[in-house]
Amino acid sequence: AIAHASEQRIGNFNAQELANTAWAFAIVDTADRGAFVKVLSARAAEMGLAAFNGEQRRHLHQLFLSVELDANPPTELLAPIGLRDACRQAMADNNPTRMSKLQEDVSYELTRMGI
């Protein structure tokens, strides 16, 4: 239901709304998550990477990573490599003094896993 409602309105989302929705999909276990990445990636490409600040890119990264960690996701449900890499880099470059506890935990685990 959330995915369908979001897909209906995503063309009107600004960068913050897109990032907030991406973060919500990252933390909620839903079968629609992968399909939403496809729609989100198209909207992000339309807006251009420069539209997203570091925090917003980190939210996108959390969604992309959650889909990548699902068992054998179909390639078409993954975000484009360039977008994934830019969002992953935003997570890696994050100033630790500005990270939330959750982001610190996620960053620690990703580093520990070698991702």
Q: Which residue has the higher pLDDT, 88 or 94?
A: 88
For residue 72, pLDDT over 80 is answered with no
pLDDT band at 9 (very low <50, low <70, confident <90, very high): confident
Q: What is the pTM for the complete model shown?
A: 0.70
Q: Which residue has the tokens 């500005």?
A: 98
| pLDDT one-digit tens code per residue, 15-25 | 999 899 888 88
Confidence at residue 96, expressed as pLDDT on a 0 to 100 scale: 58
Residue 82 CA to residue 101 CA, distance in Å, equals: 27
For residue 88, pLDDT over 70 is answered with yes
Q: At what angle do helices 33-47 and 54-69 cross, to 10 degrees?
A: 150
| pLDDT one-digit tens code per residue, 24-60 | 888 876 777 777 788 888 888 889 889 999 999 998 8
Whether the Cβ atoms of residue 90 and residue 54 lie closer than 8 Å to each other:
yes
Q: Across the chain, what does the average pLDDT equal?
A: 81
Confidence at residue 1, expressed as pLDDT on a 0 to 100 scale: 60
Whether the Cβ atoms of residue 79 and residue 37 lie closer than 8 Å to each other:
yes
